[in-house]
Chains A and B, each alone.
Chain A
Amino acid sequence: MSKRKTLIKVKPNKYKNGDIVKVSFMVMHPMETGLRKDKTTGKFIPAEYIKNVKFEYNGKVFTNMNIWETLSVNPVLTTYMKVDGEGVLKVTFTDNEGAVEESSQKIKPKG
């Protein structure tokens, strides 16, 4: 389960078996570089970023991304996926401290 707010979008909304759809994953995350100073304390804000995002469909990983703090705050990642039957699209993300969260969405092809 995801503690952080996430959103998975599949485009287009309606698709059928064999279609190639766009899958976007976004998550509310500060993606702190560790190089920014806190204006009030003058101290560096510790690095805090997601380092891996895994896209899985019916138990099979189709895209596996290593990412860095160089991505924008509240990152958005988009990849393609070939629709092949009803099932679950699961996105698992791991932060730099090793904490793992996941979110998922049902895939329901029409026709």
Chain B
Amino acid sequence: MRKILQISLCVVLASSLSFASEQFAMSNADRAMYEELMENNPADMMLSNGSELLDALGGDAALAKYLGLSEDELPVYLAGFPRYIEKFKMVVSIDQMLQAFMHESGKKPYALKSSDMFDMSSYVKSIANEQPINIDIEANEHMKKAYALGKEVFNTRRGGRGLSCYNCHNPGVVGGILRTQPLPDISAKGNASAATWPAYRMTKSKLATLQKRFQGCMQNALLAVIPLGSPEMTALEVYFTHEAKGAVIALPGLKR
């Protein structure tokens, strides 16, 4: 009951967004307070757990070796995910690459939606901290296709309300306020989602990956929820990551 009510309110408001100067906007002082919370991000504990989980598999060194890299090359390489990996014959995100790595190391891979996988893949992505996102959608046909598919998923109106991601995430509405929340600018000029997720979600008290965050929006905007790791989901991550290309990776993020 409650949930549906909230959603319909959201949708009604989506068509009559108020802009930053209006009453529901948060003050700069408030925003500064929330930014200060970053100093002590609970996700630091989860990434530290992720680092221990990777250590059990041989740590950064073993991962680099598995990827055919030196440890020094790891950060730049990881800043380019999702990638097409010849070995898998497909475009994969970091978590899927880690599943294959675990399999290869003779371990049972963590499920994509498990908290251990969130912890470990977030830690692994954080190895690329301070690197600019360097995804290359022109690298090959597979990446080109994934980008095109991601763009299509982003723009397709679906679900009970006929909404697409684009409806709420486009330059025309960025900064509009949907119930105190400014609609985030997902590009490298704004929130650069791909550079700030995985993040700790304060409303859920959990660490979430970018794909998990996509699912949140799908659920609340009444779009069928696309499974983690599906070609469509990975494609959407490719699209978001390309939008934020050049943005410097700073993980873990901290979000509402």
Q: Is A67 an interface residue, CB under 8 A from the partner?
A: no
Q: Which residue of A lies closest to B119 (CB)?
A: A5
Q: Is A33 among interface residues, defined by CB-CB distance under 8 A?
A: no
Check B205–A7 contact: CB distance below 8 A.
no
CA distance A73 to B39 in the complex (A): 17
What's the tally of chain A residues with a CB closer than 8 Å to chain B? 14
Closest to A5 in B: B45
Q: Is B42 an interface residue (CB 8 A)?
A: yes
Chain B interfacial residues counted at CB < 8 A: 10
The distance from the CB of B208 to the nearest CB of chain A, in whole angstroms, is 14
Tell whether, in the assembled complex, residue A24 and residue B40 are in contact, meaning their CB atoms are under 8 Å apart.
yes
Rounded to whole Å, the gap between the CB of B134 and the closest CB of chain A is 29
What residue of chain A has the Cβ atom nearest to residue B49's Cβ?
A5
**B44 CB–A CB distance under 8 Å:** yes
Interface flag for B180 (CB, 8 Å)? no
CB within 8 Å for A28 and B45 given contacts A72-B205, A73-B205, A74-B205: yes
Query: Measured between alpha carbons, how far is A11 from B46 in the docked complex, in Å?
Result: 20
Any A CB within 8 A of the CB of B181:
no
CB distance from A98 to the nearest CB of B (A): 23
Q: Which A residues touch B45, using CB under 8 A?
A: 5-7, 26-28, 74
The yes or no answer to A78 lying at the interface (CB within 8 A) is yes
A76 in contact (CB, < 8 A): yes
Set of chain B residues within 8 Å of A78, measured between Cβ atoms: 40
On whether the beta carbons of A9 and B40 are closer than 8 Å, the reply is yes
B156 within 8 A of A: no
Residue of B nearest to A78 (CB): B40
Q: Which of A5, A24, A28, A74 contacts B39 (CB 8 A)?
A: A24
Bound complex: CA of A78 vs CA of B45, how far in Å? 16
A89 to chain B, nearest CB (A): 16
B40 partner residues in chain A, CB cutoff 8 A: 9, 24, 26, 76, 78
The answer on a CB contact under 8 Å between B39 and A11 is: yes
A78 to B40, CA, bound (A): 9
Interface residues of B (CB under 8 A from A): 39-40, 42, 44-46, 48-49, 202, 205
Q: 13 other contacts beyond A5-B45, A24-B39, A24-B40, with CB at 8 A cut-off? A: A5-B46, A5-B48, A5-B49, A9-B39, A9-B40, A11-B39, A27-B45, A28-B42, A28-B45, A72-B205, A74-B42, A74-B45, A74-B205
